[in-house]
Chain A
Amino acid sequence: MNDVITLLKPRVWSFRSRIFSKREKAKVLKHVFLGGIGALFWGGIFIISLRVLRYFKGIEEIGDLIAFKLLSMMLIIIFSLLIFSSILTTLSKLYLSKDLPLVHSLPVSGYKIFIARWIESTIDSSWMVMLYTFPVFISYGIVYQSGLFYYINMALTLFPLAMIASGISALLIMLAVMILPASRIRGLFIFLGLSLFIVLYIAVRVLRPERLVDPEAFVTVLVYLEALKAPALPYLPSTWAFDSMRAMLSDSFADVLFHNGLAWSGAITVIFALILMADHIYFRGLSRVQTAQGRLFKLRILDHLPFGSYLSGPVRAFAVKEVRTFFRDQTQWSQIFLIGALVLIYVYNFRVLPLEKSPIETVYLQNLLSFLNMGLVSFVLIAVTARFAYPGVSIEKEAFWLVRSTPIKLKTYLKVKFFIYFFPLLILSEILIIGTNILLKVTPFMMTLSVVTLFFMVPGVVSMGVGLGAAYPDFKSENPGQAVTGFGGLVFMMLSAVFIAAVIILEAGPVYNLFMADIHGRALSLLEWVWIIGSFTVAFILSMLAVIIPMKFGERRLSSHLI
C-alpha cells in the first residue's frame, strides 16, 4: 500500500504546488471568473431541479412516481457518463501518459502502478460529474424533507457507483488494448460513445419525453401509470443506487442497508476482478502499446487532394496539410458526426413546432421565429467555431517551428487557416438557416435577409476564432481542442456573442418597420429609409471590421510568441 501512496504523491504535490505557486496567484481574476461561471451553472441546476421536483411533488397520486422515475433516469445517465468519461481518462492514465516509461522503470510491481493509476483516473473522471449532479440529489433531499442521513447516504451510494463505472471502463480498456492499437482506441471509443449518445438522444427526442407530464397524450391513464411504474433493470449498479436513495427518501432503513450492501459488494467484486486481471495482462498490453502501429483506416481520397495549380506553393502546402491532418485525426470525425446529428435535431425541432396552436398570427410568428433563428444559428456557429477554428493554430502543437522557419508570411498562414474553416462553416450555417426557414415557411424577404446576414456574419465569427486562437495559442497542450477553455477562448466567445447581438439588433428595428409597412400596405417615409439604409450599412461595416481586426491582432501577437 505504501508503494501505491508513494506513486500518488507526485500528483498530490503538483496539485499543491499549483495552488500555492505565485504564477497561479497572479491569475486570481481568471480563477474568480471561471469559478463564478461554474458556480452560476451549479446554482442554475439546483434551482431548476428544485422547481421541477416541487412541481412534481404537487401533482396528486402520480407526483412521487414521476419524481422517482426521473431519479432512476438520472442515475442511469450519470452511470453512462461516468463510464464514458472513465474510458477516456483510464486509457490516457494507463497506456498513453508520457511519464509511464519512468514509472515502469521504478522497482515497483506492475499491479501497484496499475492501482495508483486507476485511483487517479477514478478521481479525475468522476469529480466533475459528481459535483454537477449533487444539486439534483440535494434538491430531492430538500423537497422530500430528508435528514442528515440522506446526504451521508447520498455520498455512500455515489462513491461505489463511480468505482464500479471506473472499474468496468478499466476492464474494457485492458481487453481492448490486447486487440487494438492503444493510440486508436481513444478515437474509436469517442466515436462509438458519441454514436451511442446521438442515437439515444435522437430516440429520446423523437419519443418526445415532454409528453410524460401530459397524461392526455396517452391512450389511457392505466398505460401511463404502467409506463411510470416499470422497474429499472435489477443488475444495473445505477438501480442499486436508485433503490438505496428511494428507500432513504421513503424512510425504509432496512432497504437502504440492503441496497448499499449490494452496491459496495458490487464495487469490491469489480475491484478484485480488476486487480486480478491487471496482474495478468496490464503490463503485456502496455508493452504492445510501445511498438509502432500501422494505420487503422486509409482514406485514399486524402492522397490526391484537388488543390490545383491556382494556389501558390506555400498556400497549397498548408491547405493540403490542414485537410489531411484534420481527416486523419479520428477524434475529429466523431465531432463532425456529432455536429451532423445536432443539425438534424435542430432542424427536426423546427418541424415539430406547433405554430398553428399559437394565439399569435402565424405569418407574424413565422417571421419573428425566423429572425430569432438567425441568432440561434449564429450561436451554433460560435460553438462550432470554438471547437474547430479557435484551436486551428494551437493544433500545430510543437511543430509550429515549421511555420516560423519556412518562407511563408504569418499573414498568409493565417489566411489559409481562415479559408479552411470559413467554407465549411458557411455551408453549415446556410444549410441550418435555409432548412429551418423552409420548415417555418417564411416570406422570401426573410429568407433572403437571413441568408445574406449569415453570409456576412460567418467570416467575422471565423476571423475572431482564427485570430484570437492565434493571439492566445497553446502549443504545449496534449489536446489543443481544450485551448478554447482558456482566457483567449472566453474573449472569443464574448466578443463574437456581442458582434452577433449587435448585428441582429441593428437589423431588428428596420426589419420590423419594413414588415409592418408591408402588412399594413403603407409606404415608408424618407426618414425610415435613411434609418434602414444607415442600420444595414453600420451592420455591414461591423462585419468587415470583425474580419480585419482579429486577424491583424492574431498576426501581431503570434509573431512575438516565444516557441
Chain B
Amino acid sequence: MIELQHLSKNYSKTVAVNDLTLNIQAGEVFGFIGPNGAGKTTTIKMMGGIIEPSSGVILICGVNMKTEPERAKSKIGFIPDQPYLYEKLTGMEFLNFTADLYEMNNEAFIQKAQDKLDMFSLSDWSNELIEAYSHGMKQRLIMAAALLHDPEVIIVDEPMVGLDPAAIKLVKELFRSLASEGVTIFMSTHSLNVAEDVCDRIGIINKGSLIVTGTIEDLRQHVDVMDAGLEQVFMRLTQENERA
C-alpha cells in the first residue's frame, strides 16, 4: 500500500532524510518515531506530496507520487501536526471544500459530513467560523476532513497533539477500526504510549536514517531486553545510533 524506495531529502548541505526504504501493507498501522529533528515530518510531507524528495520513489497504492501526484493524493487522508486552516470558513464549509476537492457526490457528502462532525463532537460548531475554534477543535476538524472521502491510506503527523483524553481514546479506537477495514495508517508520534497501543509495526528514525523496523517484540529482541517498555527500547536504540 505504501512503498518508499531509497527516499532522500537534502536541504542544501543538511541531509534531512537519508535513503529511506519502507514497505507498509494494507490494513497495517505503522508508527514512525524518532527524536526531534530526526526527519519524521520531512518524510511525512514527502509522502503527502507537500514537498518533493531529492531522490527516491514514493508509491501510494501502487501510484507514483512523482508522476501521478493527483491520483496518489486522492487516495490519501493527510493530517498535519499543526492545524492551519482557512479561518474565514465555517467547519461545514471546510468539509464542503474538502468534498469538492475529492469530487465527492453532494448527497453522500451531507450525510457523511454530519456523521464525521458528530463523531468528532463538532456538530454544534459546524456553522461557526474556524477562527473561533480551539486548537483541539481545529485538529479534530482536520481529522474529520481527512476521513471524509474514505481514503485508502492515512498519513498523520503527531495525531494526539492538542486533543483531550476523550478525543485521544476516540482516535486510537478509530485508527484500529479503520485498519481492520483495510485502511493503511502511517503515523509519526512522540508519544510512545500511543505507538505501543495502536501500531502493528514501528520504525525508528534518527538523523534522517531508519535505524530499525519491526513489531515491539522485534525491537525488544534487537536491543536484547525482553521485558522493557517501548520508551527504554527507544532510548537504547537512539543512544546506540548516536555513538555509532
Chain A residues proximal to chain B, CB less than 8 Å: 183, 292-295, 312-314, 316-318, 320-321, 324-325, 328-329, 397-399, 401-402, 404-409, 559-560, 562-563
Contact = CB atoms under 8 A, between A and B. Distances in A.
Contacts of B45: 563
B101 A401 contact: no
A320 B97 contact: yes
A294 B50 contact: no
A325 B93 CA distance: 11
Contacts of B96: 317, 320
Contact of B103 (A312, A321, A328, A329): A312
A325 B86 CA distance: 8
Interface stretch (B17-25, B66-74, B225-233): B66-74
Lowest 5 A-B CB distances belong to which pairs?
A: A317-B100, A313-B103, A398-B84, A328-B88, A407-B74
Contact of B84 (A312, A399, A406): A399
A313 B129 CA distance: 22
Interface string B89-101: 1000100111111
Interface residues of B, number: 38
A401 B129 contact: no
Interface stretch (B75-83, B112-120, B179-187): B75-83
Given A183-B131, A295-B129, A405 B49 contact: yes
Contacts, number: 92
Contact of B70 (A292, A398, A408): A408
7 contacts: A292-B134, A313-B100, A313-B104, A399-B85, A408-B70, A559-B52, A563-B45
Nearest to A302: B93
A405 B50 contact: yes
B34 interface: no
Given A313-B101, A321-B97, A407-B71, 6 more contacts: A316-B100, A317-B101, A320-B93, A399-B84, A402-B84, A562-B11
Pick from A321, A409, A559 the residue with the most CB of B within 10 Å: A321
B45 to A, nearest CB: 7
Interface of B: 11, 45, 48-52, 69-71, 73-74, 76, 78, 80, 82, 84-89, 93, 96-104, 128-129, 131-134
B48 A404 contact: yes
A404 B50 contact: yes
A407 B101 contact: yes
A328 B129 contact: yes
B89 A324 contact: yes
A60 to B, nearest CB: 61
A317 B102 CA distance: 9
A563 to B, nearest CB: 6
A408 B101 contact: yes
Nearest to A181: B132
A325 B101 contact: no
Given A397-B84, A409-B70, A321 B89 contact: yes
B10 to A, nearest CB: 12
Nearest to B100: A317
A65 to B, nearest CB: 52
